[in-house]
Structure 1
């Protein structure tokens, strides 16, 4: 019997590690991101805190402590989730280099997503965690009530990061037909910032707009992980949010798989 290959020799594990190493090569950019996170966290925290105070101490189910948690956990996630709408795949499709990717004996989709997830995971330590620590020091932000909540929160966070990059991959495959995808990226950035809960909790939306948001994968990227990490939801409610995240992850992966297959056929027909 042939021995099973070690994890470190698995090509997909290496893509994940390559993303981590690639992101670690830019320490000054990481520090700049942390400074930006802290600065905007203070501004956003002041605005949202004032909104809660003006509403009598509670706004759409948020107290001052849980609203502070929403602000600072969101700032901590900014370096890990992709809300810009841009990815390396778009550039490779436009230049034609993606043809080389298709010649490799690995999944193009998995390779790109895992590399980007690796970048996001690295950002959690030098940028995400310090942002949350700053939030704890400058505000009375709520924290999960027990160890189980932390475990669920971590799981939700990892799924949210993956949903984000898997969705970006699916969006990037539109380049097989459009070639120039800057307009798509700008539209994605506008929608994702609004519906992920980057600016305000989506629960502040009117009912009809909240329904629209929940029919998209965007809340699974940031709002739901924040809900679980902050202890805003616990137990069955937390499990329900993680379940929704897993459904959206399956959906965007399936969409990305189908558009990759269709895009490859188009590329080959065009002589790529």
Structure 2
């Protein structure tokens, strides 16, 4: 029921945002370097990926923070598996389910209702899937560090909220990041949140010229994934030098 409700919500919001974009692109054609068909494709692609890449910081975060607060994390640390890889494997499974369960229907509805600029070459779709996978890893690495904040904070809800806002604003969920002007736009497009939605959507739209351009986009995501995973591992090492159960 939750998945069905999510599909319905993403589809409804897809129509709302799509018609807002149509009105905007009718007055400003080729805004941000997109024509109207590409802009609509961007809308429906991002709606299809919102749950997959966990833009709203869903997934393991709250579970892990609860286990930190009640001390169960000590049991996890004693297990003969790496804690970060354990949660990463779980999150990749969650993302795969949402890509199929909540991604296909909204994108299909959008393609039936609007003239979308979807690629026809299968290699573009393969590159898109690779980009989505890297997007999930980058999103996970960011959310993992947010979850670790519970080692130092009694209530991590504020950090969770800030993380969700940064993800919404910096990923391209609201508008393509190419619409942000000047140096500010250039900086936003270099931040890790751009890897979550903006880069996969641009890969699908073929905005990265040729194999070299696509490889550069994937390398950008992979670099951020490695940096953030390493940062999460370092933060975990600092947090687990001494584990204190709150209230005990």
Aligned to 2:130: 155
Aligned to 1:258: 234
Aligned to 1:10: none
Alpha-carbon distance, 1:83 to partner: 2.1
Task: Write the deviation string for residues 116-138 of structure 1: whole angstroms up to 9, x where unpaired.
Answer: 22111101112101111011001
Conserved? CA contact 1:149–1:234, under 8 Å:
no
* Dislocated runs of 4+, deviation >6 Å: 268-272
Is structure 2 residue 71 aligned with structure 1 residue 103?
no
Q: 1:189 aligns with which of 154, 164, 171?
A: 164
Q: 2:198 aligns with which of 223, 226, 250?
A: 223
For 1:68 and 1:151, how far apart are their aligned partners in 2?
Answer: 21
Conserved? CA contact 1:176–1:266, under 8 Å:
no
Q: 1:72 aligns with which of 44, 60, 63?
A: 44
Task: Write the deviation string for residues 162-207 of structure 1: whole angstroms up to 9, x where unpaired.
Answer: 2111210112111111232100011111111000000000000012
For 2:57 and 2:2, how far apart are their aligned partners in 1?
Answer: 19
Aligned to 2:35: 63
Conserved? CA contact 2:22–2:36, under 8 Å:
yes
Is structure 2 residue 26 aligned with structure 1 residue 43?
no
Structure 1 segment 111-190 matched on structure 2, within 5 A: 111-190=86-165
The structure-2 alpha-carbon separation of the partners of 1:183 and 1:271, relative to structure 1 and needing over 3 Å to count, comes to closer
Q: 2:220 aligns with which of 215, 219, 244?
A: 244
For 2:203 and 2:170, how far apart are their aligned partners in 1?
Answer: 17
Conserved? CA contact 1:143–1:231, under 8 Å:
no
Conserved? CA contact 2:71–2:244, under 8 Å:
no
Structure 1 unaligned regions, length at least 5: 1-27
The structure-2 alpha-carbon separation of the partners of 1:118 and 1:125, relative to structure 1 and needing over 3 Å to count, comes to same
Structure 2 unaligned regions, length at least 5: none
Is structure 2 residue 148 aligned with structure 1 residue 203?
no
For 1:118 and 1:105, how far apart are their aligned partners in 2?
Answer: 20
Conserved? CA contact 2:176–2:198, under 8 Å:
yes
The structure-2 alpha-carbon separation of the partners of 1:61 and 1:105, relative to structure 1 and needing over 3 Å to count, comes to same
Alpha-carbon distance, 1:208 to partner: 2.2
Conserved? CA contact 1:166–1:256, under 8 Å:
yes
Root-mean-square deviation (CA, aligned residues, Å) is: 1.8
Q: TM-score, normalised by structure 2?
A: 0.93
The structure-2 alpha-carbon separation of the partners of 1:260 and 1:271, relative to structure 1 and needing over 3 Å to count, comes to farther
Q: TM-score, normalised by structure 1?
A: 0.85
- More divergent stretch after superposition (255-264 vs 77-86): 77-86
